[in-house]
Structure 1
Amino acid sequence: MHGNAPLSPPADDHRLDATFRKVTLGLVPYIFACYLFNYLDRVNVGFAKLDMLDSLHMTERAYGLAAGIFFLGYIACGVPSNLMLQRVGARRWLALIMIVWGALSAAQMFVRGPASFYALRLATGAAESGFFPGLVLYLTRWFPSARHGRVLTLFMAAIPLSGVIGGPLSGWMLGHFAASPGGIAAWQWLFLLQGLPTVLLGIGMMFLLSDTIGQVRWLTAAERAAVQDALDRDRLDQPPRLADSFGAVLRNPAIWMLGLLYFCTQAGVYAINFWLPSIIRTSGVHDPAAIGWLSAIPYLAATIFMILMGRSADRRRERRWHLAIPLLMAAAGLAVAARFPDDTPVALAALTVATAGALTGLPMFWPLCGGYLSPAAAAGGLALINSMGQMAGFVSPYLVGWVKDMTHRTDGALYLLAGLAILGVTLVLRMSPARVNR
C-alpha cells in the first residue's frame, strides 16, 4: 500500500493477465539466461572432474571437498549480500555479483592443485551467494503470490536446462580440446569459456533491468498502476506473517524448519549436479561426449516436469503436495540408482526420476516462504533460508566423495540422501495448508 489511499477497483482479469504476461516477457528471459550460466558453473565442475583429477593428482575426497567448500563462502556471505541488495538496489548489486563470480569461475582454469582449487571455489561461493535469493526477492516484488509458482518455475527451469545444454557442451569441450595446442588442458578451456559469458551478462544487467515498477518504460502508466494495485491487494489478502523483522526471523522456529526443509531438498540436487557424470561413467560409459549426452536426459525430463508442476500448483492453489510428490520421486530414484549402479539403463532411468523430482522441488519450495515472511523480513529471511539449504551443497558432494573413497561405491551415500528427501516430505506435510496454499 502507498500511504492510506484506497485501492482502485481491480483490473479486468483478462487485461491483468495480459499485463503480467508482458511483465514476464520483459523480465524473465534475461533473468533466465543469467541463472542458466549460474547453474552451468555448478554443472561444469562435475565434468571438469573427469579430466582434472588425473591432471592435478587429486583424490575423490579432495574433489568432493573442493566442490563443497564453495558453499562455505556462500553460506557465510548470503545474508549480508541480500541486505546489501536492499541498500544499493537489485540491478547494480546483482550485476556486480555476476561480474565478480564470472571472473572467479573463469579463473579456475589456473588451478594447480587442491589448495588453489579450494581457495577459488571458496571465493566464488562468497561472490555468488546473494545472486539466487536476490533474484527470488526481486521477482516476488513484481508478481503477487498467486503467480509465484509459475514465474519461479520459468526462471528456475534454467537449472535443469543448464544440464540439458551444459552436459553435451561440457562433454564436447572435453573431447574437442583434449589435444589443444599451447598447453591448455580441456578442463581449463571448459572453465574459461563457460565463465566469461557470465561477466558479459552482468554488464548487460546494468542496462536491461529496472529496480522498481515505476522505472519501467516498456509498461504503460495504466499497466504499471495495475501491477502495483495487484501487489497491494495481494499484501492485504495474506494471513498474518510470523516474522516482520530480521530479528524475528532469527527467533522463529518455523523459519529454521523451512531452512531444514530446503536443506533436504537441496541435498539430492547437489549430489546429482556434482556426481551425475561420474555415476554414468561408473555404470559402464566412458566416452566424454556420450556421458554428456546421457546426462542431458535427466535434466530434460526435469525441465518438462518442473514447468507442469509450477502451473498445476498455481492453478490449484496447492503447495504442500506439489513439493512432497517431487521429494518422494527424488528419494525413490536415488534409492534405485544406488541399488543398480552397474546397469546403465536402470541407473539412468532412476537418475532421471530423481533429477526430475529433486530439481522440481526447488521452485515448489519458495512459494511456501511467503506465508511466513513479511516484506520487511523477506530480504534477510530468504537469504537465511537459502544459506541453510546451501549447506547441503557442502555436505552432499563431500559425503558422496568420502563414501566413494572408503568403499569405492556411491550406493551408501545415495541411500542416505534418499532418507533426507523422505525427511523433507515429513516436514512439508506438517505445514498448515491455510498458511502455505496460496
Structure 2
Amino acid sequence: MSSPAAVLPGSAVPSKDLVEQTYTKVFWRLVPFLMLCYVVAYLDRVNVGFAKLQMSQDLGFSETVYGFGAGVFFIGYFLFEVPSNVILHKVGARIWIARIMVTWGIISGAFLFVNSATTFYIMRFLLGLAEAGFYPGVILYTTAWFPAHRRAKVIAVFMAAIPVSGIFGNPLSGWIMDAFNGAHGLAGWQWMFVIEAVLVGVAVFFYLDNRASEAKWLNDAEKAVIERDIAADNVGKETSPHSIATVFKNGRVWFMSFIYFCFVTGQYGLTFWMPTLVKSTGVQGNLNIGLISAIPFLFAVFVMILLGRSADRMRERRWHLIVPALCGAVGFVVAATAGSTTIAIMALSVAAGGVLTCAPLFWSLPTAFLSGAGAAAGIALINSVGNLAGFASPYVIGALKDYSGNTATGMYALAAMLVLGSIATFVTPKGLVNR
C-alpha cells in the first residue's frame, strides 16, 4: 500500500488557516444549494402523506391502498438507482442531477390526473424511476469535495432538508389544500401537486461543478488543498477497476444495506404517517395538522447538525449512530401509547430527532471504505436496497392499521427495526469506519 505522501499533489503542506478557509468556502458554495434541491425532492416524494388527508376520501382509497401507493415509489427507485449513479459517475453531477430534477418535477405536476388506485400506483412508480440516483448521487458528489473526517457534518446539514421540508412543507401543504380546495374544479390535494412541482434542474446545470479542478470560484491553492486531501482520503479504499461488478459480491456492502434498511424503515414510517398520527390525537384542520407536524422536524434539525459535528470532531461513527436510533425507538413506543397531543408530539420529536439523524451519520460508514467507481455502485446499491424500506414501511403500517384499527402496532414494528439496526451497527468493526 502506498503512503499518503506518495499520492498527494504538490509537496508543500498547506497552512491550517488555508485549509479551513477552503472548506468553509466550499461548504457555503455547495451545501445550501444541494440542501435546497433535496427539500424539493423530499417534498415531491412525501407530500402524498398530506394528499392522503383528502385524496383517500375523494377517491375511496383504503389505508392499504394508500400504503402500497406511497411505497411503490421505491420499486421504481430501486430498479434505476445503481444504473443512475454509475451514469452520474461517468457524465458528472452537473448534467445528471439536472436531468433527474427536471424529470421528477414534470411527473410530480402530472399527479393532478390521478383518479384511481391504478393511476396512483403508476404515477408513484414513475416518480421513483425519475428520482432514482439523486440522493446517492449527492452522497457520491460530496466525496469529491470533502475528506471522510469532514463529511458527517456536511451530509447532516444536507439531510437537514428532510426536517426542513417538514417544517415549511407541511404547513405549506396544509394551507394549499385548504385554500385551493375546489378552485377551478380541482381538489386541494391536486393543487398541492401542481404548485409544489418546482423545477430547479436548470439552476443545477449552471451552478454545480463536477470537481475542484473545474471550479472557477476556487484559486489554485484552494484547489490543491482539496485535491491533496481527497487523494489521501482514497488511499487504501476499494478502488479496483472491477469494483462495480464485485461490489454486488461484497459482504460489507450488503451488511451496510441491512443497517440502512432498518433505519430507513423508521424514517419513512415517520414522514409518511406523521399527518395521520397527529390527526389521530384529535387535531382538526389541515393547516393546524401541518403546523403541529412541523414541531418534530424542527427539533430534528438541531439534533442532526449537533451530532454530525460531534461525529466529525471525535471521529467516532458507531455510537453516534446507535444512540439516536435507540432514542427513535423509544419515541415511537411512547407515541403509540400517548394519551394526549402534547405527549404524542414530544415523543414524535424524539423519534424524529433519532431516525432522521441516523441517515446522515450512517453514510460515514460505507464511504469510509469505498471510493471511485466502487463508491458509485456501492452507495447506489446500499441506498436502493435500504430504500426498499420506503416501500415496505408505509405498506405494512397501512395493512396493520386496517387489521388492528390503530397505528400502535405499526409504531412497535418501527421501533423493533431501529433496535435491529443498532445491534448491526454495534457489531461493525470500528476500525473499518472511524476515519
Short-chain TM bin: over 0.9
Give the drift of 1:425: 0.5
Give the whole-Å Cα distance in 2 for the aligned partners of 1:374 and 1:414. Answer: 36
1:192 is matched with 194
5+ residue gaps, structure 2: none
> 1:265 touches 1:361 (CA, 8 Å); kept in 2?
yes
> 1:255 touches 1:372 (CA, 8 Å); kept in 2?
no
2:88 is matched with 85
2:209 is matched with 210
Q: What amino acid maps onto 1:225 in structure 2?
A: A
> 1:243 touches 1:372 (CA, 8 Å); kept in 2?
no
Q: What amino acid maps onto 1:234 in structure 2?
A: D
Give the drift of 1:43: 3.2
Say whether 1:337 aligns with 2:335. yes
1:368 is matched with 365
2:54 is matched with 51
> Secondary structure in 2 aligned to 1:367?
coil
Aligned pairs for 1:84-233 within 5 A: 84-180=87-183, 182-195=184-197, 197=198, 199=199, 201-233=200-232
Give the drift of 1:281: 0.6
2:418 is matched with 421
> 2:331 touches 2:351 (CA, 8 Å); kept in 1?
yes
Q: What amino acid maps onto 1:224 in structure 2?
A: K
Q: What amino acid maps onto 1:177 in structure 2?
A: F
5+ residue gaps, structure 1: none
> 1:150 touches 1:311 (CA, 8 Å); kept in 2?
yes
Give the whole-Å Cα distance in 1 for the aligned partners of 2:45 and 2:277. Answer: 16
1:254 is matched with 252
Change (3 A) 1:219 1:350: same
> Secondary structure in 1 aligned to 2:368?
coil
**CA deviation digits over 1:96-141, x for unaligned, max 9?**
0000011111111110111101000000001101100001101111
Aligned pairs for 1:306-317 within 5 A: 306-317=304-315
Aligned Cα root-mean-square deviation (Å):
1.8
Give the drift of 1:87: 2.3
Give the drift of 1:184: 1.2
1:269 is matched with 267
Give the drift of 1:347: 1.2
Q: What amino acid maps onto 1:253 in structure 2?
A: G
Give the drift of 1:3: 9.5
> 2:175 touches 2:287 (CA, 8 Å); kept in 1?
yes
Give the drift of 1:235: 2.3
Give the whole-Å Cα distance in 1 for the aligned partners of 2:342 and 2:46. Answer: 22
> 2:148 touches 2:368 (CA, 8 Å); kept in 1?
no
> 2:50 touches 2:174 (CA, 8 Å); kept in 1?
yes
* Residue from 31, 49, 67 that aligns with 2:70: 67
* Residue from 30, 35, 39 that aligns with 1:32: 35
**CA deviation digits over 1:239-293, x for unaligned, max 9?**
6789970222111211111000000010011011110000111111121111001
Give the drift of 1:346: 1.3
- TM-score (structure 1 length as normaliser): 0.95
Give the whole-Å Cα distance in 2 for the aligned partners of 1:179 and 1:89. Answer: 44
Q: What amino acid maps onto 1:183 in structure 2?
A: G
Q: What amino acid maps onto 2:330 in structure 1?
A: A
1:349 is matched with 346
Give the drift of 1:179: 4.2
**CA deviation digits over 1:51-84, x for unaligned, max 9?**
0111111111100000000000000110011111
Give the whole-Å Cα distance in 2 for the aligned partners of 1:368 and 1:161. Answer: 24
> 2:396 touches 2:410 (CA, 8 Å); kept in 1?
yes
- TM-score (structure 2 length as normaliser): 0.96
Q: Aligned pairs, how many?
A: 432
> 1:8 touches 1:229 (CA, 8 Å); kept in 2?
no
Give the drift of 1:212: 2.0
Give the whole-Å Cα distance in 1 for the aligned partners of 2:242 and 2:153. Answer: 26
| Percentage of matched positions with identical amino acids | 44
Give the drift of 1:424: 0.5
Give the drift of 1:325: 0.7
> 2:239 touches 2:374 (CA, 8 Å); kept in 1?
no
Change (3 A) 1:4 1:371: closer
> 2:7 touches 2:231 (CA, 8 Å); kept in 1?
no
Say whether 1:19 aligns with 2:27. no
Q: What amino acid maps onto 2:428 in structure 1?
A: M
Give the drift of 1:234: 2.2
Change (3 A) 1:266 1:387: same
Q: What amino acid maps onto 2:431 in structure 1?
A: A
> 1:239 touches 1:435 (CA, 8 Å); kept in 2?
no
Q: What amino acid maps onto 1:64 in structure 2?
A: G
Give the drift of 1:336: 0.9
Q: What amino acid maps onto 2:41 in structure 1?
A: N
Give the whole-Å Cα distance in 1 for the aligned partners of 2:71 and 2:418. Answer: 19
Q: What amino acid maps onto 2:380 in structure 1?
A: A
Q: What amino acid maps onto 1:233 in structure 2?
A: A
Change (3 A) 1:88 1:296: same
Give the drift of 1:175: 1.4
* Residue from 324, 327, 330 that aligns with 2:325: 327
Give the drift of 1:178: 2.3
